[in-house]
């Protein structure tokens, strides 16, 4: 199914004289408001949601403009096949499209602002983390001479890791850069997250972080960054371990490479007790590594995959 994007039509100014010719009876106040009298204008049609869009993003580091296309129909096809093949789950297309249509303008705006270039589609009946890891991560096959990857290394007790958030259908905007650390070409907004602890990434005090962790609340990304001498406020979210593992597998299917082979990633929507979960792919050990760190941890090789989640 395809959709068509309609551009805003030119507004029309209707004079009082013209109105009297077109409508001989007196207009009600509501009709005047809807039609527009004097300086008020009729906006005939606003841009409507399509199945895809191309947005222009200007890289704040290089000044170069890039056209980014997000095609919902293609992503739906990919994720329907993925969840059916790995977990025998059906994706509710109608629900996903409702989210897309409801948030279309904001989704496009976020792409134009932060350069998100891909999406994850997450169902409301997502399997457990252990199930996702077993069926989506540990079944990756790296081909001749290597074969299947090694079992995931959990430095934190796997059973202690908990997802924070609601189980509902989501469209999540993400960046498809393979690495953030030691990657000069990575999205500049991603690079600003390196060497920041949870307090620096959220703009919250330690006591506020502790309260959110203890009460199972999400930790938002909300911090000031400087790129090329220009300060800007970054507002986004992180990912959960479950979402990240799905992202890892989808990225591998497309690129035959693994995300984050050179540095660790905060997963702010997953916790292990009072700690925040982190992960990276170890190319030498050929496995995913999962850890949980105290919120005050800051490392040059530890960053955050910014994301933006939309739901109904």
What are the average pLDDT values for consecutive 10-residue runs of the chain, which has 312 residues? 39 46 53 47 50 97 98 97 98 98 98 98 97 98 95 98 94 98 98 98 98 96 97 98 98 98 98 98 98 98 98 95
3-state DSSP helix/strand/coil percent for the chain, to nearest 5?
30, 25, 45
Name the token pair of 55.
């947005």
Cα–Cα distance between 132 and 245 in angstroms, integer? Answer: 7
Name every residue whose Cβ is closer than 8 Å to that of residue 72 and which is 6 or more positions away in sequence.
Answer: 51, 52, 96, 97, 100, 119
- Whole-model pTM: value is 0.85
The pair of structure tokens assigned to 77 is 């096809």
The confidence score (pLDDT) of residue 27 equals 53
What is the model's pLDDT at position 10? 41
Residues 6+ apart with CB under 8 A from 177: 183, 185, 186, 187, 190
CA distance 242 to 245: 5
Residue 126, C-beta contacts closer than 8 angstroms, at least 6 positions apart: 132, 167, 242
Question: Alpha-carbon Rg of the chain, whole angstroms?
Answer: 23
User: Looking at residue 11, what is its pLDDT?
Assistant: 40
- Give me the pLDDT at residue 4, please: 38
230 and 192 in contact (C-beta within 8 Å)? no
Compute the distance between CA of residue 215 and CA of residue 164 in angstroms, rounded to an integer: 10
pLDDT of residue 49: 75
Distances (CA, A) of 220 to 154, 178, 209, 309: 25, 23, 10, 11
Q: How many other CB atoms sit within 10 Å of the CB of residue 132?
A: 22
């Amino acid at each position: 199914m395809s959709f068509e994007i309609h551009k805003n039509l030119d507004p029309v100014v209707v004079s009082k004289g013209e109105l009297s010719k077109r409508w001989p009876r007196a207009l009600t106040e509501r009709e005047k408001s809807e039609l527009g009298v004097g300086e008020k204008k009729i906006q005939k049609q606003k841009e409507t949601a399509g199945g895809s869009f191309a947005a222009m993003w200007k890289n704040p580091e290089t000044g170069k403009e890039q056209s980014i296309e997000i095609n919902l129909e293609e992503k739906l096809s990919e994720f329907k096949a993925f969840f059916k093949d790995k977990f025998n789950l059906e994706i509710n297309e109608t629900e996903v499209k409702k989210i897309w249509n409801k948030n279309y303008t904001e989704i496009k705006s976020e792409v134009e602002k932060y350069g998100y270039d891909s999406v994850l589609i997450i169902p409301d009946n997502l399997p457990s983390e252990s199930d996702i890891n077993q069926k989506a991560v540990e079944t990756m096959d790296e081909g001749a001479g290597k074969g299947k990857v090694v079992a995931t290394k959990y430095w934190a007790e796997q059973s202690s890791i908990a997802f924070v958030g609601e189980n509902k259908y989501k469209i999540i905007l993400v960046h498809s850069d393979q690495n953030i650390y030691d990657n000069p070409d990575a999205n500049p907004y991603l690079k600003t997250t390196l060497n920041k602890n949870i307090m620096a990434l959220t703009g919250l005090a330690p006591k506020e972080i502790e309260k959110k962790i203890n009460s199972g609340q999400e930790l938002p990304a909300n911090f000031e960054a400087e790129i090329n001498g220009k300060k800007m406020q970054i507002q986004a979210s992180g990912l959960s371990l479950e979402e990240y593992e799905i992202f890892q597998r989808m990225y591998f299917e497309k690129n035959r490479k693994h995300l984050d082979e050179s540095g660790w990633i905060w997963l702010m929507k997953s916790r292990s007790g009072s700690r925040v979960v982190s992960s990276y792919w170890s190319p030498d050990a050929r496995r995913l590594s999962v850890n949980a760190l105290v919120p005050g941890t800051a490392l040059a090789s530890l960053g955050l995959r910014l994301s933006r989640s939309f739901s109904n």
